[in-house]
Amino acid sequence: MSQLKKNIDLSSYHTFGLPHKTDALFEYESEKELIHFLKTESHKFKNLMPIGSGSNLLFTQTYHGCLLHNRDLHIKVTDRNETYTIVQTGGGLDWDDFVAWTVAQKLYGLENLSLIPGTTGATPVQNIGAYGVEVRSFIKSLEAIEIATGRKYTFSNADCRFGYRDSIFKNEWRNRFVVTSVIYQLLNAPQFNVNYGSLKQEIDRLGSLNQENVRKAVINIRNSKLPDPDVTGNAGSFFKNPVVTQTTASKLLEQFPAMPNYPAEDSSVKLAAGWLIDQCGLKGYQTQKGAGIHDKQALVLINKGAKNGKDILELARYVQARVKSQFGIELEPEATIL
């Protein structure tokens, strides 16, 4: 059943757990409920924005508008052939619950993306990725509702214009559409990607190379490095790993030969934002206002008692300034700041 709530405390709707409010929040369990709301009630609000689990959001003030909270949790196999199985999910389904389901069903491809917080509806917006895998490789299409009109659209993989932690829904079409369901094309046979050193080492420790052990290894590594948002407020990786030209990377490597670097698209080079922050001596740093940097992963900003998202944002800008000063690199937030 759908429900419209007003003047809601957002502490339990985003993983930083900050006590900012929203004028209204509409929860729905089906496309039909959302379309009806958009056509009959949405004119009462200036700003409408889709929200999942809030695992990639930093609120810095009251949200003057209405948040659209997807609670559609369905999973449905829609097609299958010798190579692929096509699965549709409701956009409100917890992402890791879906990954666990794929492993139980022996459907392959998503195991490297285990334990990433969020919902399936958010995965194409952010183009989530980890350990050499991006979700765009497994998204066949998605269904979305246009907020202004309540009209339903189907978008192909190419329509989404995926980039590194990016899509058209994060930029040009930000807050124009609500992703209501995602159609994934999963492999019926394994094609494991375990080239990341720490992942391969953990799999070797667990035993044989299989889907269950890949998932266990990813979960073990993430749990060892990342704080539980239910215990310590955070939005996971706060910054994107910067992508630079080969020339820039070569100059930096002359000065910092231990700097981690990885080949990226178009002959560019991806650097490790966490390493850059750590080299600035900021791992474990904490402000008097309760904003901090995780002591095991410098890429993660944490809430250690902050009362306002502006305190987290102030720390983020300080981190950006330190990295720019030492390395000449501009760090770009991965989290959406509101």
Q: What is the DSSP letter of 281?
A: T
The answer to whether residue 33 is catalytic is no
Q: What is the DSSP letter of 311?
A: H
Cα 268 to Cα 250, 264, 271: the distances in Å are 11, 5, 10
Helix (H/G/I), strand (E/B), else coil: 318: helix
Cα 172 to Cα 9, 56, 57, 150, 177: the distances in Å are 29, 18, 18, 19, 11
Q: Are 105 and 187 in contact (CB under 8 A)?
A: no
> Between β-strands 57-58 and 48-51, what pairing exists: parallel, antiparallel or unpaired?
unpaired
> Between β-strands 57-58 and 336-337, what pairing exists: parallel, antiparallel or unpaired?
parallel
> Between β-strands 63-70 and 21-28, what pairing exists: parallel, antiparallel or unpaired?
parallel
CA-based torsion, 70, 91, 15, 172: positive or negative: negative
The answer to whether residue 80 is catalytic is no
Helix (H/G/I), strand (E/B), else coil: 92: coil
Cα 119 to Cα 64, 115, 231, 280, 305: the distances in Å are 23, 11, 19, 33, 26
Per annotation, catalytic residue among 55, 141, 167, 237: 237
- Name, in order, each residue with C-beta under 8 angstroms of 320's C-beta and a sequence gap of 6 or more: 239, 330, 331
Per annotation, catalytic residue among 111, 134, 165, 322: 165
Q: What is the DSSP letter of 10?
A: -
The answer to whether residue 202 is catalytic is no
Catalytic residue positions, numbered: 165, 237, 334
